[in-house]
Structure 1
Amino acid sequence: MKFSIERAVLVKAVSQAQSVVERRNTIPILANVLIEASAEGVSFRATDLDTEVVDSAAAQVERPGATTVSAVMLNEIARKLPDGALVQIASDDAAGRLSVQAGRSSFSLATLPREDFPVMASSEYSANFRASAGVLRRLFDKSKFAISTEETRYYLNGVYMHVAKAEDGPMLRCVATDGHRLARIDAPLPVGADDMPGVIVPRKTVGELRKLLDDDEAEIAVSVSETKVRFATPTITLTSKVIDGTFPDYSRVIPQGNARKLEVDATDFARAVDRVATVSSERSRAVKLSLDQDRLVLSVNAPDAGAAEEELIVAYADDPLEIGFNAKYLQEIASQVDRDNAVFMFNGSGDAALIREGSDQTAVYVVMPMRV
């Protein structure tokens, strides 16, 4: 195998691949990236057995072939080469080495046979559709903060993507929850997605997917089966197993009867929460919201550290209310709000709060209260 590739193209392709690789693993080949050169160009493939990414890149191929080399090592080398460099890569299968040359720099890296590299089995996908990168980014970006990190509740360790019935008809919906907060985001259902099975996309896959969604106008081909999900651009394909579990009935925890309405500038609110939380203990980070006519007082009282209070002018015309929340949860939800105003719907001091982005019904957040 022998080919020449621009340094910038190499960096982009290898960085995407190496991010899938687990730094600590007991199978040496899983630390490697599979490089395949053909007349069409070069592809870089990496996997951790649950997730697989393939990045295709343009290159001048002199001799087709394939080999595997340390993904992290190749990424570090490519990153440190000078901008604009033309990189020559060649493999010597007999010696088990890969040479990387650019200008006066040259490297010789150990390789492992391509035959040892595991390739994720192909799957029959029951639903195939296309969606814009902007739509998918909104669905996953706005929900992923609520993914649980508790490994014992593995079925909450991802984003539940499914077809849901809404007032405006069927929607493509993403939901995530950790039992303390919940995010539910809707988008118009793409053509071809009607029969899509509901799948839980793992946290790691959601992070890798974000790298495919930078261009709002790009079309992403999405394929879904009971066991796998695949996202593809013209140059990158990300395939992942889905979490084998049943996502809980989230609709039961979304409050329906909350009547007390607070409307507040989302940015001002997030900053005020951040300021008063400075004195709270890391263990609980509880902030109290005291509501009265068009007035919100945020306060924290940490006996071992101090106290803080900040007042905001808001739109509130219901009965006075005092309720406490985890400061981190409030900040994370407020940071998702794209509109100027966040709308909070309360019931009582012991009940979950519902948060929306202005009048937008397609983004709903729920947060459980804390005792303060």
Structure 2
Amino acid sequence: MEFSLDRSSLSWLVQTASKPIPARATLPVLKNILIEGTSGQITVCGMNLDWGIKVTIPCQCESAGSMTVNSKLLQDVIRTLPSGEVRMSLSESEWSLLIASGTSKMYINASPGEDFPPWPEESDDYEIVLDKNVFRRMVEVGTACAVANAARPLWAACFMEVKDNELRMVSTDLFSLAVARTAVKSPEIGVIVLAKVLQDLASLLDDQDEKSVHIRVGQSHAFFSLGPVSAFARLIEGQYYAYQQVIPKSFRTQVRVDTEQLIASASRASVLASEEDKAMRLRIGSSSVTVRAGSSDKGRMEEEIPAEVEGDEMEICIQHRYALLAAKGVGTTRTVLKATGEVSPLAIEPLDDDSPVKPTFVVMPMKPGA
């Protein structure tokens, strides 16, 4: 196999395909990327046990073939090369890859492409097509409450559900809940994937001219296509939480506040709140919300946010990080807090939101005196 690419294209190709490769791979071959060349294109693939990426771009390949090479080693080699064309040529008799640029020649070990795990069989039953900005926003909101490296797999996951012509992405750590909704036309589905997979895919969108993301769901994997990038994600087995039961259907009190003021108050509360409970108190009055936080070893803060209040006055105690997460996630200049009681779920949503993605955040209050 032999082909040539400019250094910047080659670097992007290898870095993108290497995103799923773990720092510590359980299988040695998963430290590698697969490189396949045909007469008109080059494809680079990387994967782990949970997900994978392959990137295909046009390329004049002088001779076809396939090989695997160590991802980190290849990236380190490319990083040292000067700008300009890079020629890569594989010697299958020695399984050695020549990387040449200018007067420099470097040789790294390679292995047969057949050693690499196969790409999962894709489903062609139906697909969901989203504008890439809608997909990015859905992932931003829908994975917001996922907990990285969680002991419980569902805490690190995102539930993707299509119901009533609406796609929903949901995440929760059982103390907070994030739901993103957008209109689609698709059969009903309900699958669970790692939230980090969706976040990594969304991070690739800025590099793409393609305006749409295509999503397909099979028996054991979900598949994503965005321009030259394709990806799969292994579905997590099990039943997701009955998240709809947590979202309040009626409210005793609704509070409308300026989003930036809420973010600023919660940020100040986070500085002085106790490291143990991270609590901030919201005292809802007739025309304002008073924010309080403090600890014996730091001090205390108190400030008043003007608000439009409908319903009962009450005091709610929540963790400041959940208030910040929701306030930063609503995406509008005004935010509405919907309270059902002092210790009942608190819904936080955007006000006057005309965007195609509708976010809802739910926070579980702490008990009074906690």
User: Does TM, scored on the shorter chain, surpass 0.5?
Assistant: yes
Change (3 A) 1:198 1:67: same
2:315 alignment counterpart: 322
Residue 181 (1) aligns with residue 173 (2) = no
Quote the Cα distance in structure 2 between the aligned partners of 1:299 and 1:216. 47
1:71 maps onto 2:71 in alignment: yes
Q: 2:192 aligns with which of 200, 205, 221?
A: 200
- What is the distance in 2 between the residues matched to 1:17 and 1:202? 18
- Partners of 1:312 and 1:178 in 2: CA distance: 28
- 2:42 corresponds to which residue? 42
Question: What CA deviation, in whole Å up to 9, does each residue of 1:30-62 have, x standing for no partner?
Answer: 100001111121110111132121101233322
TM-score of the superposed pair, with normalisation by structure 2 = 0.92
Give the structure 2 partner of residue 268 of structure 1. Answer: 261
Superposed displacement of residue 9, structure 1: 1.2
- The whole-number CA distance in structure 2 between the counterparts of 1:39 and 1:283 is 61
- The SS at the match of 1:198 is strand
Tell me if the contact between 1:18 and 1:75 (Cα under 8 Å) persists in the aligned partners: no
For 2:90 and 2:276, locate their aligned partners in 1 and report how far apart those are by CA, in whole Å: 53
RMSD of aligned C-alpha atoms? 2.0
Amino acid at match of 2:222: V
Q: Give the Cα separation in 1 of the matches to 2:106 and 2:251.
A: 64
1:278-289 matches, within 5 Å, as 278-289=271-282
Query: Mind listing any 5+ residue stretches in structure 2 that lack a counterpart?
Result: none
* Aligned residues of 1:128 and 1:224 also touching (Cα < 8 A): yes
State the Cα distance separating 1:252 from its structure 2 match: 0.7
User: Following TM superposition, by how much is the alpha carbon of 1:80 offset from its aligned partner in structure 2, in angstroms?
Assistant: 4.4
Question: Which residue of the partner structure matches residue 309 of structure 1?
Answer: 302
* Cα displacement string for residues 328-352 of structure 1 (whole angstroms, at most 9, x for unaligned residues): 1111111112111110011221111
| Residue 237 (structure 1) aligns with | 230
Q: Who is 2:163 aligned against?
A: 164
What runs of 5+ residues in structure 1 fail to find an aligned partner?
none
CA distance in 1, matches of 2:122, 2:64: 28
Matched letter for residue 181 of structure 1: S
Shift of 1:231: 0.6
What SS does the aligned partner of 1:293 have?
coil
> In structure 2, what is the equivalent of residue 369 of structure 1?
365
Give the counterpart of 1:255 among 248, 258, 262.
248
**Structure 2 equivalent of residue 98 of structure 1:** 97
1:210 matched to 2:202? The reply is: yes
1:118, CA displacement in angstroms?
0.6
Partner Cα distance (2:149, 2:45) in 1 = 30
**Structure 2 CA distance for aligned equivalents of residues 175 and 150 of structure 1:** 17
CA contact under 8 A between 2:253 and 2:313: conserved in structure 1?
A: no
Q: 1:225 to 1:332 in 2, by over 3 A?
A: same
- Structure 2 distance, partners of 1:177, 1:81, is 45
| CA shift for structure 1 position 317 | 4.5
Quote the offset at 1:120 in angstroms.
2.6
**CA contact under 8 A between 2:158 and 2:171: conserved in structure 1?**
yes
Cα deviation for residue 151 of structure 1 reads 4.2
CA separation in 2, counterparts of 1:368 and 1:274? Answer: 19
Letter in 2 for 1:31: K
Give the counterpart letter for 2:22 in structure 1: E
Please tell me the residue identity of whatever aligns with 1:179.
L
Match of 1:180, as an amino acid? F
Report the Cα distance in structure 2 between the residues aligned to 1:326 and 1:339, rounded to whole angstroms. 22
1:216 CA drift (Å): 8.7
Q: Does the CA contact (< 8 Å) of 2:145 and 2:172 recur in 1? A: yes
Q: Distance in 2 between matches of 1:81 and 1:342?
A: 51
Alignment check: 8 A CA contact 2:274 2:294 kept: no
Instruction: Output the CA distance in 2 between the equivalents of 1:289 and 1:357.
Output: 18
| Corresponding residue of 2:293 | 300
Describe the shift of the 1:179–1:7 C-alpha distance in structure 2 as closer, same or farther (beyond 3 A): same
Distance 1:105 1:300, change over 3 A: farther
Which residue of the partner structure matches residue 15 of structure 1?
15
1:123 to 1:213, Cα distance in 2 relative to 1, 3 A: same
Change (3 A) 1:268 1:74: farther
* Alpha-carbon spacing, 1:163–1:31, altered in 2? closer, same or farther (3 Å): same
1:244 CA displacement:
0.9
- Aligned match of 2:215: 222
Deviations 1:118-138 (A, max 9, x none): 113314344323222122222
Report the residue type matching 1:210 in the other structure: A
Alignment check: 8 A CA contact 2:163 2:189 kept:
no
Is 1:120 paired with 2:119?
yes
1:275–1:239 CA distance, 2 compared to 1 (3 A): same
Give the fraction of aligned pairs with identical amino acids, expressed as a percent. 26
- Tell me the distance in 2 between the aligned counterparts of 1:217 and 1:111: 33
Specify the alignment match of 1:132 in structure 2: 131
Query: Residue by residue, what CA displacement relative to the aligned partner does 1:195-232 show, whole Å, maximum 9, x if unpaired?
Result: x4211121232122213433696122221123211011
Rounded Cα–Cα distance in structure 2 between residues aligned with 1:359 and 1:305:
38
Q: Which residue of structure 2 aligns with residue 332 of structure 1?
A: 325
Give me the whole-angstrom Cα distance separating, in 1, the residues matched to 2:150 and 2:71. Answer: 27
Which letter does structure 2 place at the counterpart of 1:333? A
The count of residues paired between Structure 1 and Structure 2 equals: 364
Output the CA distance in 1 between the equivalents of 2:28 and 2:210: 39
**SS of structure 2 residue aligned to 1:94:** coil
